[in-house]
């Protein structure tokens, strides 16, 4: 183990050195920044609010939701993971993540060179993000606000993965995984989908309004890979492992729901009619999914559970995300209904049948929800189905399938390679004894509750 740690430290020093040198040797500083004379104060005010709402989704929303679902001996570990991911991704975003996701170095529509798949280094260390700059993707708000808004998405995406490996991954391994994943998976996928004209999936016509592909699908696939590679928790599935505090989980779910309005309606990058429709679609889909999950569970198990109800709401929120700014109210209700049914069976029957231990159903809710939401966007975004987009259902559905397929393969393969490299160096999983004692004490030398 000592040799593995030493090798891991050497890799860390080399990685930091390479990361520091890469922006200086890569693409030159781009000149696409515009002046902020066209900045709209109303749009900017809404986007500042949306930044706060989306950050609120991770800390404290996701932290409390996941923290309440684990056993008492692991609650602090989950809270710590959510908070440390927030800080780690923030720093990486400033150093290179934003540039890899949204710089437009060398991009040309239809010309699929490297720039179509990942951004360059012109915005490394946030160079050019000045008092007067705006981004072409959001020309009515300052670039600093746009960069911060997109940062909150980059924060919550790896945070979602925690739910799959909760209660058994080493804290040091988690740090390495989340840092590498945010740069090698999240940034390229965000660039391909949201990078604008010249980005690979954007040019193919893939629609993802607020992150069903970029956020939920990419995180959900990584969650599944993580759960399989780490293996099951000791005693699973024979030993009962109920949530230690459903009260905390419900409070966290409520915070996620409220914050999601910034997530979806904020993706309009302005205070406009599209933001308003996205907000309405979000509320409708979440409500329909929660009710649908409740009735399906009620029929199957005889009683509706609080945990099932709030999980259904989160499933509806995740599923409507890629479609929210493109669909009408009835499309939102249809997507919510499908989410409630499909995600229920994914998180219960499918998980048991395939035998993987997705601790908090990160894949069943976000991976499956993001996938069906992205595919249904191809149906309900069309004007003929009450949506906003002038597209054919067949053509748009095919574009959505391509986006889902590319993201599934990229996130799955790269996640596996990152996890394998970590396992061969410092190790992924805590020891059997540490797992029995709980991650709060063994990883942080603290206890969530003094009983």
CB-based contact 57:263 (threshold 8 Å): yes
Give the Cβ contact number of residue 392 at 10 Å.
12
CB-based contact 248:67 (threshold 8 Å): yes
In this predicted structure, the answer to whether residue 219 has a pLDDT above a threshold of 70 is yes
In this predicted structure, the answer to whether residue 35 has a pLDDT above a threshold of 90 is no
In this predicted structure, the answer to whether residue 27 has a pLDDT above a threshold of 70 is no
CB-based contact 138:269 (threshold 8 Å): yes
How high is the pLDDT of residue 37?
55
Distance between CA atoms of 341 and 281, rounded to whole angstroms? Answer: 18
Overall average pLDDT of the 351-368 stretch: 96
Overall average pLDDT of the 390-409 stretch: 97
Q: How confident is the model at residue 189 (pLDDT cuts 50, 70, 90)?
A: very high
Mean pLDDT of the chain: 92
Overall average pLDDT of the 266-273 stretch: 96
Of the two residues 451 and 98, the one the predictor is more confident about is 98
Of the two residues 11 and 296, the one the predictor is more confident about is 296
How high is the pLDDT of residue 279?
98
Q: How confident is the model at residue 106 (pLDDT cuts 50, 70, 90)?
A: confident
CB-based contact 261:282 (threshold 8 Å): yes
Q: How confident is the model at residue 450 (pLDDT cuts 50, 70, 90)?
A: confident
In this predicted structure, the answer to whether residue 86 has a pLDDT above a threshold of 70 is yes
How high is the pLDDT of residue 100?
97
Of the two residues 446 and 450, the one the predictor is more confident about is 446
Beta bridge partners of 34: 134
How high is the pLDDT of residue 20?
40
Assigned token pair, 149: 């808004």
Distance between CA atoms of 345 and 341, rounded to whole angstroms? Answer: 7
């Amino acid at each position: 183990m000592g040799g593995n740690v030493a090798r891991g430290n050497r890799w860390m020093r080399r990685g930091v050195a390479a990361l520091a040198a890469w922006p200086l040797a890569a693409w030159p500083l781009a000149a696409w920044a515009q002046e902020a004379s066209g900045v709209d104060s109303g749009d900017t005010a809404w986007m500042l609010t949306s930044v706060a709402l989306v950050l609120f989704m991770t800390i404290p929303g996701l932290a409390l939701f996941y923290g309440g679902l684990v056993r008492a001996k692991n609650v602090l570990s989950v809270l710590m993971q959510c908070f440390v991911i927030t800080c780690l991704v923030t720093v990486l975003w400033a150093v290179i993540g934003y540039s890899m996701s949204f710089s437009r170095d060398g991009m040309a529509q239809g010309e699929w060179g490297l720039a179509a798949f990942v951004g360059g280094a012109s915005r490394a260390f946030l160079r050019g993000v000045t008092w007067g700059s705006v981004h072409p993707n959001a020309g009515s708000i300052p670039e600093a606000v746009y960069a911060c808004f997109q940062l909150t998405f980059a924060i919550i995406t790896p945070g979602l993965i925690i739910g799959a490996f909760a209660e058994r991954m080493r804290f040091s391994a988690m740090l390495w995984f989340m840092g590498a994943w945010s740069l090698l998976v999240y940034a390229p996928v965000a660039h391909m989908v949201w990078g604008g004209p010249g980005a690979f999936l954007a040019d193919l016509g893939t629609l993802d309004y607020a992150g069903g592909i970029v956020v939920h699908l990419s995180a959900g696939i990584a969650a599944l890979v993580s759960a399989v590679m780490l293996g099951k928790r000791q005693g699973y599935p024979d030993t009962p492992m109920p949530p230690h505090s459903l009260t905390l989980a419900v409070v966290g779910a409520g915070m996620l729901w409220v914050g999601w309005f910034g997530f979806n309606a904020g993706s309009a990058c302005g205070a406009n009619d599209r933001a308003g429709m996205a907000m309405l679609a979000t509320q409708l889909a979440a409500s329909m999914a929660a009710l649908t999950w409740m009735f399906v569970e009620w029929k199957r198990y005889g009683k509706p559970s609080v945990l099932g109800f709030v999980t259904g709401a989160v499933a509806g929120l995740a599923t409507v995300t890629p479609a929210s700014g493109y669909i009408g109210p009835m499309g939102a209700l249809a997507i919510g209904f499908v989410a409630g049914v499909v995600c229920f069976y994914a998180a219960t029957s499918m998980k048991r049948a395939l035998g993987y231990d997705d601790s908090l159903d990160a894949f069943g809710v976000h991976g499956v929800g993001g996938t069906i939401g992205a595919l249904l966007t191809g149906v309900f975004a069309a004007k003929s189905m009450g949506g906003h987009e002038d597209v054919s259902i067949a053509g748009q559905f095919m574009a959505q399938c391509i986006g889902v397929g590319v993201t599934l393969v990229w996130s799955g393969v790269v996640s596996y390679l990152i996890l394998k490299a970590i396992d061969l160096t410092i190790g992924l999983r805590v020891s059997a004894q540490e797992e029995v004692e709980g991650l709060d004490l063994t990883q942080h030398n603290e206890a969530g509750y003094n009983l």
